[in-house]
Amino acid sequence: MTTERAVTSRLFTTSVIEGRIDLDEKYDKAYNNVMNLTRDLNEEESHHALNKAFDDRKVHDELCLGLLVSILADQSKASRHYRDLTLVSRDALKVVTETLIHQIIGERFSRLSESTRRQLLWLVRELVKTGINNVEGVVWCLLRQIAGGDVSQKNIWLAESLVDILRENRPWLDKFPVIVASVTYTYLRILEDHHAPQFASLRQKEVHFVVGLLRERFQDCLMIGRDLVRLLQNIAKIQEIEAFWRDLIHNPTSLCPSFTGILQLLQTRTSRRFFVVRLTPEMEKKIVFLCTDVKFGMQKRYQEWFQRQYLNTPESQTLRCDLIRFIIGCIHPSNEVLCSDIIPRWAVIGWLLSSCTSPVATANSKLALFYDWLLYNTETDNIMNIEPGILVMYHSMRPHPVLTTSLLDFICRIIPNFHPPLADKVRLGVHNSLRQILEKRVVQSLDPLFDNRHMDAELRKLIRDTFPEFCSNSVPGDVKPEDFVAPVSSASVTRMDLMVETGLDFGSSTVNSDNDVNNSNHIGEDDAAFSEDEEEPPILNPPPSPAPNKVKVEEISTGVSTPVTEVVEVKPKVSDVNSVEEKVDLSKHLEYLESDMKTILLEYQNEKDTKQRLEKLSL
């Protein structure tokens, strides 16, 4: 029995590789204390014993934890111990809710055994029914565990179990506007994943529930902002959603007297709390690590692992939109990170876009990337939300022109087609985005993008018709190499082949990656110019020709040859050949050679005259 306890866990799955976690010992101790205190006692005697023990504040928290473990681990005792817990707890079950939020659901949900998960949902149902304080935090944590793009049995079961709990306890849900909005956002998003026939019953249940929230609690849902419209558009073909969409467009006051129309939603920036709720804590931890700790050029293995873990099925392609919105809205690097060699956000987004295998998911991902551009307001929106879009296009011009041109084509066509009645507003929003990008010097100039002579003629015309004020007056075909501005100051980035079959591969690693790759997210004034025709930046004011026997000194630390005006005189120097020849001691290697060869090498090493040495080698 002792051996079994050492390798098994009451709540979590274990294996040869993953053994007991650090909390198991603590949970076992608390559980055993409760069992020892209530063994062989009836329910009334058990209440009395626990009530007496709970008077001691030191053991209160441990006994609450022990009862929680018993509820989760033993279905036969769950009802009795839940009654014990509610009767004798002195802190309104604060220990229970905090343990669920921070330890069991928040950090280790994926390792819970199947029986423990079922007991956990039973407990949450009871906590919600009882109206325990802070149970809304427990529900929010469970919402996060419903993974987007995952149609596995476990994930479907969790989505259905939670929607059942919320439907049964709708009066409780209506008390928490933030939870109402988070639930609406979550189920609108996962409805997109539940289109297969085997999920018809669940989908109908979810549609009925979420449309009810939208119509009855629309004031609460307004806090979602513009991404509410994005999610509705993805599932607008569902009959009930289509009916709601018509009211949203044509009869907005029927939803809420103060609601003026879809423009009001689109002008409201979505809070990051909604982007967070659509990633599991494990996904969030890994994508944050990738964007804040991994050096540019070293990320390939992390991306491959993430791809295998979360993006390896056709259904999982919808997760890319969630990841892109999270990166744009939640990961805003400090200036220190922006200037470091950490992989920039645009590179991660470029990988997510170009490795997508579904055309529909790719189009939705592009919309997710540019969504904050459409109704951008310089007073209320954040430059960090539009920065990745321009940098993905800029940095992909040479290594991956297909990605750049597809994004340019998308942004041009989305203006008149996103919502035709608001075409002028969308055009203004995109123009505001581009103006602020230039004002904040995210890029120095848009000419490399908009006046690229290597671009398809039809696309060039579309760009010039859409953004005439941002295009130069010269004919696109006459754009000169010196008109291009380099997106980065490193020649290594322009040399890297960022495509490997399925998409951008930013995994190339060089020995001197710190010097070779400058991955600054912003493009500074002093960055070198770049063109499709030549690697060297143009010299607008070349220095005078150096005198004979003088050469230019070029700055090479950044990987780009940058001319400077300093010249150094080079004088011929006569030196003995032997003075620069490296002396090598061969004696320690001679013992491994045959006698004849040993003799020849010794003579070679001892000979001073170079001509004689060469003759000996020719023998």
Convert the pLDDT of each residue in 227-241 to its tens digit: 999 999 999 999 999
pLDDT reported for residue 48: 84
Instruction: Inform me whether the pLDDT recorded for 526 exceeds 50.
Output: no
77-117 pLDDT per residue, tens: 999 999 999 988 888 999 999 999 999 999 899 999 999 99
Quote the distance between the C-alpha of residue 211 and its chain's center. Answer: 29
Q: Is the dihedral of CA 55, 58, 59, 60 positive or negative?
A: positive
Residue 247 or residue 601, greater confidence: 247
Residue 15 or residue 120, greater confidence: 120
pLDDT reported for residue 594: 59
pLDDT reported for residue 607: 72
Does the pTM surpass 0.85? The reply is no
Of the listed ranges 5-14, 421-430, 432-441, the one predicted with least confidence: 5-14
CA distance 590 to 580: 24
CA distance 211 to 231: 13
pLDDT reported for residue 471: 86
- 444 half-sphere exposure, CB direction, 13 A CA radius: 16
Of the listed ranges 109-113, 360-364, 573-577, the one predicted with least confidence: 573-577
Is the Cβ–Cβ distance between 491 and 535 less than 8 Å?
yes
Q: What is the mean pLDDT of the chain?
A: 81
CA distance 33 to 66: 7
Cα–Cα distance list, 330 to 274, 320, 333 (Å): 10, 15, 9
CA distance 155 to 146: 6
**What's the pLDDT band for 618 if we cut at 50, 70, 90?**
low
Residue 194 or residue 584, greater confidence: 194
CA distance 60 to 56: 6
Of the listed ranges 298-307, 333-342, 389-398, 424-433, the one predicted with least confidence: 333-342
Is the Cβ–Cβ distance between 320 and 352 less than 8 Å?
yes
SS (H, E, C) 171-227: HHHCCCHHHHHHHHHHHHHHHCCCCCHHHHHHHHHHHHHHHHHHHHCHHHHHHHCHH
Q: What is the mean pLDDT of residues 411-429?
A: 97
Instruction: Inform me whether the pLDDT recorded for 543 exceeds 60.
Output: no
Is the Cβ–Cβ distance between 7 and 14 less than 8 Å?
yes
Domain ranges of the chain: 1-111, 176-276, 279-495, 543-570, 583-618
DSSP string, 473-506: SS-GGG--GGG---SSS-HHHHHS--B-SSSB-T
Of the listed ranges 84-88, 136-140, 327-331, the one predicted with least confidence: 84-88
Q: What is the mean pLDDT of residues 118-147?
A: 97
583-592 pLDDT per residue, tens: 555 555 555 5
Amino acid residing at 435: R
- Residues facing residue 504 across a β-bridge: 499
- Residues facing residue 552 across a β-bridge: 567
Of the listed ranges 153-167, 204-218, 566-580, the one predicted with least confidence: 566-580
Interior angle at CA 31, CA 99 and CA 64, nearest 5: 45
Single out the residue of 119, 209, 216, 212 nearest to residue 166, CA to CA. 209
3-class SS at 555? Answer: strand
Amino acid residing at 295: K
